[in-house]
Structure 1
């Protein structure tokens, strides 16, 4: 097949995260399986307009919002050269059904109801949520949907997407867990592995550290990742009185990421919403159990509660559960071992094989005319 992936970001974008890792990993595996894959995404400072990476051709056009009309224009221009389009609906759609009758697959990691309210609390958020919740289900009606968790599938169905149109394709991991997990820090450390954006609620991790500081005097927090909310988070850590207990590492290499989450005793994921949460399985691969909010959706599948980590209802319970885990080395080791075992079962190859089946069905009878 000739596959076009339309995504507003790629992994080199300053705001790139787990969704972009998924798209590029599946694209890479599809290319290895003999398909021609093109990823169209936005430009960002320092990026090249054209690039080839791991067998995938990258074409960067437009910016944060203009990438959408540029993407449609590119698709219209290349409509005879593409068998199937994967339209990544990351809040906003590329609206590829406007220029293609068939051969379109929508990829939705999760719905963004909470994020629209948090990041754009005014009319902008209301318009965005209207587009995602009302326009997308109608615009992509009768098209297949891919998503990464049963929780996201249920959310899509609640918006009116027929359940029979939805296929769940779980995240993989770029590399298998090491034969031996990294050595843990001799002093208690917790980590957050995340993009630094408001809806990840990383301020909650500061509260956990502050409220446990007297009981665990050597407790330290490693924040791994970067994003446009970084300055606000640095200020929030200072305001919470834990600035000297928090290290902001920014973007790091995969090896450094694994080292940081591997030496942590616990990984905290206070995000308001996740499709799956790749950070949880990346931490689990290094033998580190995670604590996350059950209401975040996909984390109820990337964490097996009580086995590979813990699910909690609110911030008070996150503090209490973190306290218990920091004090119970046996529970941490048991959960860490189970998290490694679970992570070992997840591969991008298996993910791509399942996605490929959906793409082949969608592209087999593709009609490129609008």
Structure 2
């Protein structure tokens, strides 16, 4: 099968600057290629990456993009301009996967580029009227419901296939010697609830707090989706009374380094407040696979894989004092090693349903059904396919 994957205009692939969507599709593309499919991955150019290269059997093409911006008024025209740049680079394909806003509209005029398969990674914002003839794939049941609320006619075209986890995240078992660390990993932005996490940690009984550390990993820079200098300054000020127990590491985009932090912690806290911003909670699932017990806010997206009291804890972030609710949940939990270890093991076992191999199979089965049914066979490499060395050297 010929599969083209296209990313948006703001983050490169490999995910040098982070990005859950970029990380996931980078891994899926390699898995598709490993199974014999012809895969092209188009993404934003970056100064440290060649415009063309082959990585683990995937042909990468990179097109000039833009620096990320929090302004929708600036994002939309940049996405359109980027989509117009990408169009000439799209090879003939059976399936065209894209998470770009405009590309599903721009690319559908020429069927030879592939059946458009739109990865809807966020709550829809009115764009579905433009995608009336497009397959829609999202990552959780709440987003599927939001899609159908916007366009009830999309039911037959919509499927839920969750994010996968690469093999490196799966610890052999929850490490018995992991430190008493509460870990957060993700963007350092006001909508992620980090301020309430710090406040909750400060409210823990002093004796309990003295035996735990809070480590916060993630970018605060606006170019990486963070809240900027003012926000990180506010967080550091809030943490000042317990500064000896709180650590801000900054951004860590290296996957091996991030996994090492997951495995060194016992509890992962993801207190997001983003009612319309979180679609899946990939960081929480990564932490579960690495051996952490997850503690999350009561956003709907976590319900697909976290069962309260069984493989994780959920606190009410919508009440009048969410920091108190989180502190109460943590206070009882952190003092009980038996409960922590029980939830760590259960969370680790639950994560096994999200292996890259299992999720890739679901995508490929869907692609085959859409593009031609079971008779469609994995593509053989084209006779004229140039070598990785030639491709990397191409202008």
TM-score per shorter chain, which class? 0.7 to 0.9
- Once the two structures are TM-superposed, the CA of residue 289 in structure 1 deviates from its matched residue by 0.9
- Once the two structures are TM-superposed, the CA of residue 364 in structure 1 deviates from its matched residue by 3.8
Superposition TM-score, scaled by structure 2 size: 0.78
Q: Distance in 1 between matches of 2:63 and 2:91?
A: 20
Please name the residue that 1:177 is paired with.
170
Structural mapping, 1:1-370, within 5 Å: 1-8=1-8, 9-13=11-15, 15-64=17-66, 66=78, 68-75=80-87, 77-78=88-89, 81-89=92-100, 93-101=101-109, 102=111, 103-111=115-123, 132-134=124-126, 136-160=127-151, 162-175=154-167, 177-185=170-178, 188-212=180-204, 214-218=206-210, 219-228=212-221, 229=226, 231-240=229-238, 241=240, 242-249=242-249, 250-251=251-252, 253-271=254-272, 272=274, 273-295=277-299, 297-314=300-317, 315=322, 316-364=324-372
**8 A contact 1:61–1:67 mirrored in 2:** no
Residue aligned with 2:159, SS: strand
- Once the two structures are TM-superposed, the CA of residue 147 in structure 1 deviates from its matched residue by 1.1
Structure-2 change in CA distance of 1:52 and 1:197 (3 Å): farther
Q: Distance in 1 between matches of 2:206 and 2:117?
A: 52
Structure-2 change in CA distance of 1:321 and 1:139 (3 Å): same
**8 A contact 2:97–2:116 mirrored in 1:** yes
Superposition TM-score, scaled by structure 1 size: 0.82
Residue aligned with 1:216, SS: helix
Unpaired runs of 5+ in structure 1?
Answer: 112-131, 366-370
Structure-2 change in CA distance of 1:11 and 1:79 (3 Å): closer
**219-228 or 330-339, larger mean C-alpha shift:** 219-228
Structure-2 change in CA distance of 1:33 and 1:67 (3 Å): farther
Q: Distance in 1 between matches of 2:136 and 2:204?
A: 43
Residue aligned with 1:133, SS: coil
Q: Distance in 2 between matches of 1:138 and 1:204?
A: 38
- Once the two structures are TM-superposed, the CA of residue 215 in structure 1 deviates from its matched residue by 4.7
Deviations 1:104-156 (A, max 9, x none): 01101231xxxxxxxxxxxxxxxxxxxx522x211111321111111221121
**8 A contact 2:295–2:312 mirrored in 1:** yes
Unpaired runs of 5+ in structure 2?
Answer: 67-74, 374-395
Superposition RMSD on alpha carbons, in Å? 2.5
Residue aligned with 2:208, SS: coil
Deviations 1:44-68 (A, max 9, x none): 4533322322222222212235464
